[in-house]
């Protein structure tokens, strides 16, 4: 009696691994699609130009904050100050940037320089980024309160006009999300220097041996985080029209969740700009719209968001296990 079983060939194994990697990469898009389908089932009228404009109104600042966090996570660090930093940027935008634009611009540029300095400090002194950025969160919060002790101020007119832009056919938040994702994807994933930046998170020793400065990489990534944090603060004030020192406090956890939901890893330089933006859109829709249509009380919505994140991570872990 002969054995008719056929051992898997190398080509079959390789194709199976490739399929599972594609499944892993598509998880953020699938998660977003499922949330949109659920919203359509609960409230079909929300799936329209006007509906998406309302539902995704805060998607732009969340996506920008997620990209800022992604830059830090790429080099195996974590930024716990991005939320309070966005609040500080918002207060500066609603006061100095409107009343004294040159001074406002100088303050925002200085804040980006401070972010770059944090990257240098963490690298040179080998300090835990969690501790340093947690301390800076209190600094940014205090500065925000000094700039704007009580909620108020007003966004500059040009910023209101920009965030209120209504293009035909496709809502502005969707266009902005696509542009953000593609620009960052090209810069980080398709350029030679982007490969070096990601390599510093995946194999810093090899990058150092190749002659690249790890200090410069760290400074660059933290400076980019500061820059996109500024963009996020500007977009947020453009949407809300006024400033508040506490307006960005929730963005720290949202940005971390968006990166992880989008396929990023805490170590190894494994991130996905497109996935991060998709994760931010998913969180935006799930956090308020979907749970609101399901009549879930606001006190339970944070926990429901956590359940959504856990489900997606469990699916990713299952795919990764099969991949191994």
Give the whole-angstrom CA distance, residue 301 versus residue 291.
7
225 phi and psi angles, rounded to 5 deg: -60, -45
Per-residue pLDDT at 197: 92
Task: Using DSSP, state whether 125 is helix, strand or coil.
Answer: coil
CA proximity to 231, closest of 73, 53, 82, 118: 82
Give this prediction's pTM.
0.90
- Cβ burial of 49 (10 Å; 0-12, 13-18, 19+) is middle
Looking at residue 243, the DSSP 8-state letter turns out to be: B
Give the whole-angstrom CA distance, residue 152 versus residue 150.
6
Task: Identify the sign of the CA torsion 214, 219, 225, 231.
Answer: negative
CATH code: domain 27-317 is: 1.10.3470
Residue entry with tokens 């947020």: 236
Per-residue pLDDT at 257: 87
Phi-psi region of 268 (alpha: psi -120 to 50; beta: other; left: phi over 0): left
Q: Where are the domains of the chain?
A: 27-317
Query: Do residues 88 and 96 touch, judged by C-beta distance below 8 A?
Result: no
CA proximity to 162, closest of 60, 246, 84: 60
311 phi and psi angles, rounded to 5 deg: -65, -45
**In the numeric block, which tokens belong to residue 179?**
């542009």
**In the numeric block, which tokens belong to residue 35?**
């949330």
Per-position pLDDT tens, the chain of length 324: 455 555 556 565 556 556 666 766 778 888 889 888 888 888 888 888 888 888 888 899 999 999 999 999 999 999 999 999 999 999 999 999 999 999 999 999 999 999 999 999 999 999 999 999 999 999 999 999 999 999 999 999 999 999 988 999 899 999 999 999 999 999 999 999 999 999 998 889 899 898 899 999 999 999 999 999 999 999 999 999 999 999 998 899 889 988 988 888 888 788 999 999 999 998 888 776 666 666 666 666 667 667 777 777 777 667 666 555
**In the numeric block, which tokens belong to residue 90?**
């918002």
Give the whole-angstrom CA distance, residue 206 versus residue 192.
15
């Amino acid at each position: 009696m002969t054995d008719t079983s056929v051992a898997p060939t190398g080509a079959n194994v390789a194709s199976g691994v490739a399929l599972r990697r594609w499944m892993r990469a598509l998880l953020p898009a699938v998660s977003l699609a499922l949330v949109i389908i659920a919203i359509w089932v609960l409230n079909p009228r929300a799936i329209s130009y006007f509906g998406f404009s309302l539902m995704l109104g805060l998607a732009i600042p969340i996506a920008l904050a997620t990209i800022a966090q992604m830059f830090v996570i790429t080099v195996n660090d974590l930024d716990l100050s991005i939320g309070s930093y966005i609040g500080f940027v918002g207060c500066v935008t609603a006061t100095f940037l409107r009343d004294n634009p040159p001074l406002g611009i100088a303050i925002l540029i200085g804040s980006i320089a401070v972010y770059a300095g944090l990257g240098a400090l963490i690298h040179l002194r080998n300090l835990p980024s969690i501790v340093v950025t947690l301390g800076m969160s209190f600094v940014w919060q205090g500065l925000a309160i000094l700039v704007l002790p009580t909620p108020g101020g007003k966004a500059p007119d040009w910023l209101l006009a920009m965030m209120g832009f209504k293009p035909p056919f496709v809502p502005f938040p969707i266009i902005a999300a696509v542009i953000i994702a593609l620009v960052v994807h090209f810069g980080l994933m398709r350029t030679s220097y982007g490969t070096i930046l990601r390599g510093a998170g995946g194999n810093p020793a090899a990058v150092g041996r190749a002659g690249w400065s790890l200090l410069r990489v760290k400074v660059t990534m933290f400076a980019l985080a500061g820059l996109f944090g500024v963009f996020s603060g500007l977009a947020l004030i453009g949407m809300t029209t006024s400033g508040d020192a506490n307006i960005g406090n929730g963005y720290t956890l949202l940005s971390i969740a968006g990166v992880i939901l989008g396929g990023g890893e805490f170590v190894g330089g494994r991130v996905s700009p497109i996935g991060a933006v998709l994760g931010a859109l998913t969180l935006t829709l799930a956090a308020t719209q979907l749970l609101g249509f399901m009549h879930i009380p606001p006190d339970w919505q944070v926990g429901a968001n956590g359940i959504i994140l856990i489900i997606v991570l469990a699916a990713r872990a299952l795919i990764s296990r099969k991949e191994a």
